[in-house]
Structure 1
Amino acid sequence: MHRLRTIIGIELRQRVRSVGWYVLLGVFAVILIGLLGLSFAAFSLTTGGSEWFFSLVIMLVLLLTLLVSPTLSGSAVNGDRDAATLAPVQVTLATTGEIVLGKFLAAWISGLAFLVVAAPFLVIATIAGELNPAAIVTSLGILVIEVGVVAAIGVGLSAVIARPIFSVASTYLLVAALTLGTLIAFGLGGAALRTEATTVSRDVDWTAVPPGCDPSAPVRSSDCPSYDDLPCVESTTVYEQPRFDRVWWLLAANPFVILADATPPTYVGGNPTDLFTQFASGVRLAQLPPEEPTTYDGCARSAQWYADEYPSVQERVEGTTPSWFVGLLVQLILAGALLAWGVARTRTPAKRLPPGTRIA
């Protein structure tokens, strides 16, 4: 623990002495101030928008952290190797595992520093959001874990790849694959696996209305039928529709989906009241296979028919499967595998190193 603490201290002191570190924190704070002002201005125009405020701020903090964290961890090992500062540490009593683990924990702590900068904004969002305390605690916990996952990916790739610029780029690409890549694969996969669907519709035959006749008018002539007297016609439409229920699992490892799906949902009148629930409901509804055939009866105008035919989002989500723990497990396995691979590549004496690798 003493050696590990020493390595973490060295890493953090190097970052504290860097001017770029404070520039990043300052830019991060300025962006949050702008987003805070715009969010207050936007939600002040709507009623019931305060519940969305906290979830929006948390999502934005996660986005900014994912954009910044690779620069803090993507060159942790190979950057020291290029600067000839890794070899002096390797000849001490510190083991290879302690060196890589210490750099990972230092990168994680550095990423959490951005959450410290965001803490005042999160406090304001918590006060304004009026959210369930369980949602606040869960979302913050997932946010901390996601910062650690990105830090582990960056440190692992920095130990596996010889050049710092390539390891940082690879970290960004892997983070992009988890965020945008899963979303693109979900959209393209669902569109590619489309199947034939049928819609049977019944609607009023408006061609039976005489010219100049208004069926909804309270006073009508004898030759002007009422709305209830108009005949109904049935039509059948055959078309192809995407099958997102077959590829929804691609979104399980998306950091934003994990954050939204792990947070306890909140509904009012069966509809989502925050961004977490909106995201999670969208992914859960993608699990539902399409109805075959789909029916629409425009001639049935009772309120009970509409209630039975169009259930609320909460009613449709009930019975679907949460996926956040599976996606989080996939991320942890990926991060752990990269760290283990990085330890194996950093271990000395090395049997084989890439050409041009600096030792000391």
Structure 2
Amino acid sequence: MSGQRLGTIIGLELTQRTRSVAWYVLLGVFALLLMIVTGLSFLAWGSVPEPGGAISSTIVYITLLLIVLVSPTLSGNAINGDRDAATLAPVQVTLATTAEILLGKVLAAWITGLAFVAVALPFLVVATLAGGGSPSTITVSLLVLVFEVGIIAAIGVALSGILSRPLFSVATTYLVVMALVVGTVIAFALVGFTVRSEVTTHYRSLDYGDYTGDSYPCAPGETPSDMNPCDDDVELSCGEWTTSTYEVPRFDHVWWLLAANPFVILADATPTEFGPEGYPRDLFGQIKYGVRAAQQAPELETRYDDCAPYQQGDQPSPREVVDQSTPSWFVGMTLQLLLAAGLLWWAWARTRTPAGRLPSGTRIA
């Protein structure tokens, strides 16, 4: 692996990508969208204390969403597009190896995607300074964002080497990325509702009999007051215990399906800012809490007794749920790395020279 040859390939790719005016127009439109999102975020979150975390997390998520929508177009025809333009073969006959060509194109596509992250940086700085966001949270979220940009770039370049038609490889890149973003959520919901368990509920109610008073009888252990004007002159009897059953989905068995989702990885890996009552202050924490709460198994046997004094159960706060659950961001990153590495190996096998066999209609030079 030669650094000089790798740098030359990256330079050629970046020159080819950035010499078009459309590229700068795209960055300008992206900056305009982030400006609108930042303004709306200040208006939406301005009433909450220290809104910087909520604003910055919104900007990071919008940046990731736009990168997901744009990056497949920038990387999905990196190899087969050069083959159709008859510019790949002249590079292959040089001293550059197939691995250097692939890696150079991946790094160039990665750098191109990072331009969008660079455009988002000023808006994140504004959110941090004006809204009181945490620099550590923003730093970690940016590192995860950089990683996701690289994964999408690697998938696009790999598929452009595997598939012979640029349009088909771009479409397939979109499908693979959407499978990670949307497909994981659909699989989580469908499989979670398919895997069900039976819940048994025991219930005993109060027997009001023929009570016709103007108020209502006091329940056992309940005393009348100004706020609760119940009638304590009536002695209520307890009804019979009844038992009913119903089924609940077991999302705690399938929560791992969300591990490879880029938006879940971003939320799960980023440190969460909690308020005084233990509730998250930003989108990262809210999504993390939703995923971690899915790990909690439901109660399969419940009991409700109207004849017993009501006691408020201790419900764990979102902070306690997050602290007591299992992080999955490193598993998701590992799965994405394995996916990208496997596709790149396949692309290397399809692109290496001399080629033993090429698809019908493939242009060489």
- In structure 1, how many angstroms separate the alpha carbons of the residues matched to 2:123 and 2:70? 18
The answer to whether residue 294 in structure 2 is matched with residue 286 in structure 1 is yes
- Alignment-derived partner of residue 108 in structure 2: 106
Which structure 2 residues correspond to residues 142-153 of structure 1 after superposition, within 5 A? Answer: 142-153=144-155
Q: Which whole-Å CA distance do the structure 1 matches of 2:57 and 2:207 have between them?
A: 47
| Equivalent position amino acid for 2:273 in 1 | T
Q: Which moved more, 1:192-201 or 1:67-76?
A: 192-201
Provide the residue aligned with 1:60 in structure 2: 62
**Hey, what does 1:242 align to over in structure 2?**
249
Show structure 2 runs of 5+ residues with no match: 218-223
Output the amino acid matched with 1:104. V
Measure, in 2, the Cα distance between the counterparts of 1:228 and 1:122.
64
**For the Cα contact (< 8 Å) 2:197–2:247, is it kept in 1?**
yes
Matched-pair contact (CA < 8 Å) for 1:208–1:230 = no
Tell me the residue number matched to 1:264.
271
1:273 equivalenced with 2:281 (yes/no) = yes
Work out the CA distance in 2 between the residues paired with 1:27 and 1:189. 39
Cα–Cα, structure 1 residues 61 and 137, in superposed 2: closer, same or farther, change >3 Å?
A: same
Map of 1:255 onto structure 2: 262
**Contact 2:113-2:149 within 8 A present in 1 as well:** yes
Matches within 5 A, 1:208-223: 210-213=212-215, 218=226
Task: Give the C-alpha shift of residue 236 in structure 1.
Answer: 3.6
Change (3 A) 1:219 1:18: closer
Name the CA shift for 1:155/1:208 in 2 (closer, same or farther; >3 Å): farther
CA distance in 2 between counterparts of 1:254 and 1:219 reads 50
The residue type paired with residue 185 of structure 1 is A
Aligned to 2:137: 135
Deviations 1:182-221 (A, max 9, x none): 0000000000111211233456666775342256663999
CA distance in 2, matches of 1:343, 1:334: 14
Q: Deviations over 1:231-250 (max 9, x none)?
A: 56555431111010111110
Kindly state the Cα deviation for residue 228 of structure 1 after the two structures are TM-superposed.
Answer: 10
> Do the aligned partners of 1:54 and 1:128 also contact (CA within 8 Å) in 2?
no
Which amino acid is the alignment partner of residue 226 of structure 2? P
Provide the residue aligned with 1:72 in structure 2. 74
Q: State the match for 2:198 in structure 1.
A: 196
Give the aligned length.
Answer: 355
Contact 1:74 1:171 in 2 (8 A): yes
* Secondary structure of residue in 1 paired with 2:95: coil
Are the equivalent residues in 2 in contact too, given 1:107–1:151 (CA < 8 A)? yes
Q: What SS does the corresponding residue of 2:295 show, helix, strand or coil?
A: coil
Corresponding residue of 2:119: 117
Cα distance in 2 between the residues matched to 1:228 and 1:338: 75
Residue 21 of structure 1 is aligned with which of 23, 34, 38?
23
Contact 2:80/2:161 (<8 A) preserved = yes
Query: Is the 1:208–1:231 Cα contact (8 Å) retained in structure 2?
Result: no
Percentage of pairs with the same residue: 58
Alignment of 1:310-325 (within 5 A): 310-325=315-330
Name structure 1 gaps, 5 residues minimum: none
Find the counterpart in structure 1 of residue 348 from structure 2: 343
- Letter of the structure 2 residue corresponding to residue 173 of structure 1: L
Q: Is the 8 A contact 1:214 1:220 kept in 2?
A: no
Do structure 1's residue 352 and structure 2's residue 352 form an aligned pair? Answer: no
Alpha-carbon contact 2:53-2:273 (below 8 Å) kept: no
Map of 1:164 onto structure 2: 166
Matches within 5 A, 1:174-193: 174-193=176-195
CA 82–298 in structure 1, closer or farther in 2 if over 3 Å, else same: farther
Contact preservation (8 Å) 1:209, 1:225:
no
Q: C-alpha distance in 1, partners of 2:231/2:65?
A: 59
Is the 2:155–2:343 contact (alpha carbons within 8 Å) kept by the matching residues of 1? yes
**Residues 106 and 198 from structure 1, CA distance in 2 versus in 1: closer, same or farther, beyond 3 angstroms?**
same
The separation in 1 between residues aligned to 2:169 and 2:283, in whole angstroms, is: 33
Give the counterpart letter for 1:240 in structure 2. E
State the AA in 1 paired with 2:21: V
In the alignment, does 2:344 pair up with 1:332?
no
Amino acid at match of 2:123: F
Could you list the per-position Cα deviations for residues 134-192 of structure 1 after superposition, in whole angstroms to 9, with x for gaps in the alignment?
32221111000000000000000000000000110010000000010000000000001
Partners of 1:232 and 1:310 in 2: how far apart?
28
Q: Which of the residues 77, 84, 87 maps onto 1:85?
A: 87
Secondary structure of the residue that 1:172 maps to in structure 2? Answer: helix
Structure 1 residues 197 and 23: CA distance shift in structure 2, 3 A:
same
Q: What TM-score comes out, normalization by structure 2 length?
A: 0.90
Q: Name which of structure 1's ranges 94-103 and 123-132 shifts more when overlaid on structure 2.
A: 123-132
C-alpha displacement of 1:257: 0.7
Work out whether residues 76 and 169 of structure 2, in 8 Å CA contact, stay in contact via their aligned partners in 1: yes
